[in-house]
Every structure is written in C-alpha cells, then in structure tokens.
A = this chain, B = another copy of it.
Amino acid sequence: MTSTDPAPSGLRPTRQRIAVAEAMASFDDFRSAQDIHELLSRRGEPVGLATVYRTLQRMVESGEVDLLRTEDGEASYRRCSDTHHHHLVCRTCGATIEVEGPGVERWTRAIAEEHGYAQVSHTLEIFGTCAACR
C-alpha cells in the first residue's frame, strides 16, 4: 500500500488531520466520532475530541466521508466513494454495502419539484440482517 492518505480535502495537512484520515481508511463500517477519537488514542496518535469532530465535519462537507444517524440520533461516520449513493446496512453487525438508485434520485427530484420545493436533498438508508448474521 502506498502512503494512501494525504489529508482531508485541501486543508492544511496537520498531524491531526492526517491521523484522522488514516483512521477513516482503516475500517469499513460506520463509527461514532467518539469511537474514532478513542481509536486514535489507542494508536498513539491522540487527537483532541473537538478536533476529531471538526475534521469529520469537514470531511463530510467535502464528501470524503458519509454521515448517518443511528436510530437514536447519534452521528456515525464512514469513508465513502465520491459518487452519490445510499447504504444497505446490517442492523446486527453493521456491515455496509453502498448502493446506487438512479431511479430513486429521479423520483425524489420529481416529487419535490411537483410540490414546489427547491434545494432538494434526501436521505435513504436500507436496514436489514445480512446473511452472516441470520
């Protein structure tokens, strides 16, 4: 593996931002900011909790990571591809599959337009129990 991760978007590549970016590259499921903060500490690359939150926020804005809210409203993060997509998440083990639904995109846009809503965005997540957890 090449050094893989520079740093979030076009921001100053500080030790902390690089550490967060690397941490995000090291797992495949959704994790809370607190989990990530803890993971960094254990790795010996401590980053302040506030900084973790700030960095994650920026990465979400720049589209480098996905943000999703668990059923109880907590935010969780995961690195993602740069195309618009949704998630099929195992509600038991968290295994996540990125899926695309051009039809859905079209549909939401049409519905919104039809009712005069602008600046449309949407959230769509699919939950289920994966084969391994059955």
Binding site for B on A (CB under 8 A): 69, 73-75, 88, 90-91, 97, 99, 101, 103-104, 107-108, 111-112, 115-131, 134
Contact = CB atoms under 8 A, between A and B. Distances in A.
B131 A127 contact: no
The quantity of this chain's copies bound in the complex is 2
A88 B104 contact: no
A128 B124 contact: no
A131 B116 contact: yes
Given A73-B75, A90-B117, A117-B90, A126 B104 contact: no
A88 B117 CA distance: 8
B124 A112 contact: no
B115 A130 contact: yes
A120 B117 CA distance: 29
